[in-house]
Structure 1
């Protein structure tokens, strides 16, 4: 059930070669300069990475996936993440948060307008859920969209925070959640609205100064009297929050794949260094104090990979109508919780094995150490994953 087939392994080799040749030689400079490599995105598009879960009608390759499209996406994210987490999240967010909402909930016109460029890597799309005062409590959204029926337009006011792929030179649209009214029970009605880049009243704030993911594009967004046509509503009015929660299930599996790539790299780096670095006349790996933590990395890697690809397999099975959405949600939460926390531990172990060199930016473990922490936060914090799992167990947490 969890052994990847020949096609998947051949695809892995293709992506690994691409990551090794087109990404690895440059990431240290890109990270130091906080540079988003825009020119790399269409190359990833030509490789088909953005179209793995998209039908051929929009430029994708879904029909040729032999039932494992989402698994293939996770393989690509893992292999990119093994080389650099920022490049991995660019793909993960580009597909899971940019393409998927349009593909799943968009009208034919919306799909035809946006998907071909997104799949080809000529454009990127963002996903605006988090706000300055609404993170894990996403239902506390304050951004509002009021329908001006006479003009046939939505008028947006509010702000979003920490939005990936939202301010690049090729960002074409950001889908945002907004209050569009009040339900009968007094709770806010939340809908999803697509806002094209360059729309008057839509401002992309300066890029954040971040601890990690320095290559990834991340901005705050603000909306002031921002008008978009009424047909830019994505999906059914009042279902935006539900839509985005379902989108996050997929995103959690993708983040897990990103974490698997990180853990794999830490195991490789730590084991290699322990074999070649000598102290007191022998390799440091000859000492149990070093060998045992590195052995733990191998266990973390296998456990993380199995949880992740089981969740990806369930997602593919759900798309084929053979598994329930709840099974996917629970598996996604398990994978995200374990892999993200294991990734943070893995970077700590690898850095300790490297000693003083692990604190130096010339060694990749330092970059991965900085990048790891966000994995426990993005796409739902560890606490949120435990809430999801507790609910699945019939508990009230």
Structure 2
């Protein structure tokens, strides 16, 4: 009997018990998408030639023209504060979005759309989001997980011909209803139910589903003209146990009998449209099922396949935009605002924060762009997309938090000149949607990665399911060789596969070594804990985080090659060091928390020769901060999507920085005179170009000032009159009535044009 068969026969029973059972929904999620470079990292064998093969991001002539014309024109129409106060986009913005087909970016030109690739789509969203997140969300939803993408991949020809042209030009505005009040993160458990029936509809007997549903948190629902809906399809004519047909996706026009768009939700009081959808005995003809009757029950697979790519585009673009804006604001404000006779950006406490933001942005945006290149090449990397969703939205939140710390009082006073306040309030939204980060980090990244990215686990699971002793034995022998190889490389060093950029050879060697240590650790955790690891979410989250940091570090190597910008080498090196240091810290914590004997010894062996993985030293932080202060092209490369806004604090800051650049080193002397004289005019007269100096000082003063509003009425004695009348407390203060938008609970429906 062959050795593989003997091993497989011996291992079949314990492996059948140890491997976690897979439900249909889990299986659909695991089978969705493809595996790319993250699989090489999981295996401990990153090949830097394979990394380079992704090539630079490509834009067509049409995409470049759109980014150079329509997107800047839109951004100049956006007033972040005014939109936030009005809780809606201005009518002219809605009209511009329709006319220029922002809602049809992913729809092919044959159907009237723009036919953009993934990188162009993400870049449009990012550039809008640097100015106004609500507009970016409004644009991204029709182009993200929803009717258009589902129709393109699974719709019937009749459905495509009817809906896609109307979605492309904005005659139809879509939303998609998946989340229910009692099924949030566990989306597959939606209680919404549709029973197969036949009834009279539009003058003829029609097969379809009678659906009851409650959906909430549905973006664009208040203005939608077509609702995408996920529900459990049921055929009660079948025998017991065979009645559930599976999750099914349908399109329902608005209005439709039995369906009601509920009162508006206000996520963190943001201006984008969001709300619930309710349905009681809503008849959904079979023609309205996406893909027709052949796709009944295939909804969960459809959603998972779309999400495998979609998670890597829109929300990561929002996270990147928040990082880019926060870095620009923090660095620029640090040069204009002075305390103790120095620009605050020169103080090490501030410089350290700004540098950390820059290093993290270099890595996270490298990963976003690298994954977009893979998507445009036809890949659908489900694990990498989950990594991006978590890492970039969290990085966006950290960047805004750091920016708020630097801005101090300027950051916490609301008004048109506030620089980050709206983004600070909205940061949790991206953390929460499309798979809350706490779920994605704890269950999805490593949960999918352990099966999809590992070179042998999927083969072992398939052999156990098929009861194939020989196949299991062969997979286990290959798995054993894999563990032995990674053990050797963890202890004695890993070779660098491929040809990384010469300037980053040392960093590539560190990535290869840490990848081998990670691969060995993942095998040890799975081997020691078996199926229990699935439930030990703190451990599996750590394993997923290490994979994420390795992915971001590797993307930095790719970015440095494709950018061909030698001046960015210090930032590439810093970014890689930050990611690898984080990976090493997490592995150390993981070994400290393994519930097995000998964990300390195992950790000491596997993590030997990692003492050099230290965070950035203070001297490195301050040196990079100096580059950010003195070389505007460096900031421009780190924040390439930062757009020119309409009125507001960001525009004021940009104008002050432009004037300051023309003055050059003379700004320090001007500020010194200003501190002594406390006169903008007198300080300006001391400059070589008084007119330019005065313009700069006025612009800088505008940046430093904050907004004020009318307060409570004051008594003759000068004290505020806070007495309560029988009618209750005084009305809240705020902008004058003429400046304050009217309150409304449910916005008027935006008419199609």
- Tell me the TM-score normalised to structure 1 length: 0.89
**Higher strand proportion (structure 1 or 2):** 1
Q: Deviations over 1:106-150 (max 9, x none)?
A: 111111221112111232100111111111101111111122224
Deviates more, 1:36-45 or 1:122-131: 36-45
Deviates more, 1:34-43 or 1:269-278: 34-43
Candidates 372, 382, 396, aligned match of 2:437 = 382
Alpha-carbon shift at residue 296 of structure 1 (Å): 1.4
Q: How does 1:66-215 map to 2 (within 5 A)?
A: 69-96=117-144, 97-151=146-200, 152=206, 153-168=208-223, 171-181=224-234, 189-212=246-269, 214-215=270-271
Please, which runs of 5 or more residues in structure 1 have no aligned partner?
Answer: none
Alpha-carbon shift at residue 154 of structure 1 (Å): 2.1
Q: 2:642: which partner in 1? A: none
Candidates 62, 66, 72, aligned match of 1:17 = 72
**Aligned partners of 1:384, 1:140: CA distance in 2, in Å?**
15
Please, which runs of 5 or more residues in structure 2 have no aligned partner?
Answer: 1-53, 201-205, 452-525, 527-532, 535-753
Change (3 A) 1:388 1:240: same
- Tell me the TM-score normalised to structure 2 length: 0.48
Q: Give the conservation status (yes or no) of the 8 Å contact 1:293–1:349.
A: yes
**Aligned partners of 1:56, 1:34: CA distance in 2, in Å?**
33
Q: Deviations over 1:32-59 (max 9, x none)?
A: 1212445423422433433332222210
**Aligned partners of 1:259, 1:234: CA distance in 2, in Å?**
31
**Aligned partners of 1:116, 1:317: CA distance in 2, in Å?**
26
1:357 aligns with 2:413: no
Query: What root-mean-square deviation, in Å, do the aligned CA atoms of Structure 1 and Structure 2 show?
Result: 2.1
**Aligned partners of 2:359, 2:247: CA distance in 1, in Å?**
42
1:296 aligns with 2:362: no
Q: 2:305: which partner in 1? A: 246
Q: Give the conservation status (yes or no) of the 8 Å contact 1:307–1:334.
A: no
Alpha-carbon shift at residue 161 of structure 1 (Å): 0.9
Name the SS for the 2:247 alignment partner: strand
**Aligned partners of 2:325, 2:298: CA distance in 1, in Å?**
40
Q: Give the conservation status (yes or no) of the 8 Å contact 2:148–2:167.
A: yes
Q: Give the conservation status (yes or no) of the 8 Å contact 2:266–2:274.
A: no
**Aligned partners of 2:90, 2:211: CA distance in 1, in Å?**
31
Candidates 317, 340, 360, aligned match of 2:377 = 317
**Aligned partners of 2:89, 2:263: CA distance in 1, in Å?**
14
Greater relative contact order (CA < 8 Å, ≥ 6 in sequence): 2
Alpha-carbon shift at residue 9 of structure 1 (Å): 5.5
Name the SS for the 2:185 alignment partner: coil
1:266 aligns with 2:319: no
1:368 aligns with 2:423: yes
Q: 1:331: which partner in 2? A: 384
Change (3 A) 1:111 1:188: closer
Change (3 A) 1:28 1:166: same
**Structure of larger gyration radius:** 2
Alpha-carbon shift at residue 186 of structure 1 (Å): 8.4
**Aligned partners of 2:99, 2:159: CA distance in 1, in Å?**
22
